[in-house]
Amino acid sequence: MEETIKEKKIGLLNNSVIFFIFLTFVTIILSFIGSMFNWQGTYIRINPITGALERNIVAIENMISGEGIRYIIGNAISNFVSFAPLGMMVISLIGIGIAYKSGLFAVLFPLVGKRMNKITITFSIALLGILSSFGGEIGYVVLIPLAALFFLFNNRNPVIGIIVAFISVSAGYGMNILVTALDYNLLTHTQLAASLIDSNINITMFSDIFFSIIGTFILAFFIAHLTEKVIVSRIPKYKHGDDLIIDEVMITKKEKRGLLLAALGIFILAVIYIYMITPGLPLSGVLLDSLEPTYVGKLFGSASYFNHSLIYVLSIIFMVSGLLYGIGARTIKSSYDFSKMIFEGINNIGPILILIFIASQFISILRKTNLGSVITIRLVDLISFLNFTSISLMVLFILLVAISNIFLPSSISKWAIMSPVVVPLFMKSNLTPEFTQLAFKLGESITNIITPSLAYFIVFIGFIEIYSKGEQLMPIKKIYRTLLIYSLGISLLWLFIIITWYIIGLPIGINVFPTV
């Protein structure tokens, strides 16, 4: 009897809901301690208009106070409703659910998967996850559920697909074969910081494109092999539910007709969307920021609807392709069938909604306390105090960015604090601003996959729990053991590559080298 109770207690401590409630209470207590001991930090901000240096003081805000309690209680609903992953996830799952329920994925995924071996499937998911950063956070809410279904329909554990998708999107957020929104947003701060040393310097968005392209494929290859050689054996064989029986797919004339209609629908919608992000044509470019001079600026500018619309557009593509497939394959015979699929597509997200509500409170309270900002400022002070140079400075900076990222996952917020100090420090050590920005992205990559303060971490946990129930349930402890293997492996990978790159002196971008 005592042993049973003990097991239940251990299981309770591994529960994701309890985990985030615990983190919330720890954050509140730390805010009280930090406020009592006057924890604060001062950082330099560069005014983007005047170029003047402005000193900013950030102090810990006490959540165990009248104002703090009012914030916690009064903002609970708004924190949940405005939580970014909530709307994006629901919208994407509506489209994905229709494509799934219509039978499109049940035919298409095995058809594609049977032509690929296990390592190729995993590599493909990892590569797609890294490349998805071009569209912001779409990989979290689109690729994770798709990867789960792809693995499921190819008789593999969907949890492995979820893990690979999350790891690749998170760790590969700074890598790509194209310029991303992250590059665009970091550039301004890097340029301003570098101008403190050299007023004539000009940094482009393609400053580390060579490293990013090579890093994209190396990281995808590394994730795929680490998954297949180490992680797969640690995850139990998946037991399909009674409602899902996966057999050899026999494509009849109806399925072929459905696939043809779905492909036609995808093609037409893709052409329309490309037209809406193509400038210079009649009535084209409606989703672009027309005030920006460059095309990259038009895509990622503050007035651009490209990033904000991508989830919605993808959902429509899934919805239309699922509908057209259902009509062609006769799995949708009436409007009732279609509406039923819409409802059934999101009828299992209740656990995720509960997790999102609790996690949104934790993340909101953490931001309000300023703990992440103060820790980041103190780490920047440590970099200045230690006065390292060359390789030792680069390694120290990557590791401290990784630590800071656990508490402050916002790339722009961290770089705004770090860049005015770190970029000039690197330049004085004969390291280029572009190389500094690259090191910053690699530092984030290491801990993006383990920080619970990342908003989309809860989406990952939610899908894990959907597909791992009963005896197959993965508790938080086991999830973190798995994630730490990736985090350690990726940190060693990046450190080896960037040190080698520095020693050899290879260009990281067009006419851009690690050293000045």
> What is the average per-residue pLDDT within 188-199?
92
| Residue that finishes a domain, picked among 326, 347, 368 | 347
**Interior/surface letters 131-141, b for 16+ CB within 10 angstroms, e for the rest:** bbbbbbbbbbb
Beta carbons of 292 and 286 less than 8 angstroms apart: no
Percent of the chain whose pLDDT exceeds 70: 94
Would you say residue 372 has pLDDT above 60? yes
Q: CA 173 to CA 133: how far, in whole Å?
A: 5
Structure tokens at 312: 């919605």
Domain boundary among 347, 372, 399: 347
**What pTM did the predictor assign?**
0.92
Q: Are 175 and 265 members of one domain? A: no
Same domain, 407 and 467: yes
Q: Count the neighbouring beta carbons within 10 Å of the beta carbon of residue 260.
A: 13
Count of H helices and E strands in the chain? 23, 2
**Does residue 515 sit within a domain?**
no
Give tens-digit pLDDT for 387-428. 898 899 999 999 999 999 999 999 999 999 999 999 999 999
Residues whose CB is less than 8 angstroms from the CB of residue 93 and which lie 6 or more positions away in sequence, other chains included: 141, 145, 345, 346, 349
Amino acid at 53: L
Q: What's the structural domain count of the chain?
A: 2
| Domain assignment of residue 392, given as a range | 2-74+103-250+348-504
Domain assignment of residue 88, yes or no:
no
Mean pLDDT over 45-60 rounds to 86
Per the CB < 8 A criterion, the answer to whether 343 and 361 are in contact is no
Q: At residue 300, does pLDDT exceed 90?
A: no
Last residue of a domain, one of 302, 318, 347: 347
Q: What is the pLDDT of residues 22-43, one digit of tens each?
A: 999 999 999 999 999 999 999 9
pLDDT of residue 471: 56
How is 11-31 classified by DSSP, letter by letter? Answer: HHHT-HHHHHHHHHHHHHHHH
**How far is 373 from 41, CA to CA, in rounded Å?**
8
Burial class of 326 by CB neighbour count within 10 A (0 to 12, 13 to 18, 19+): buried
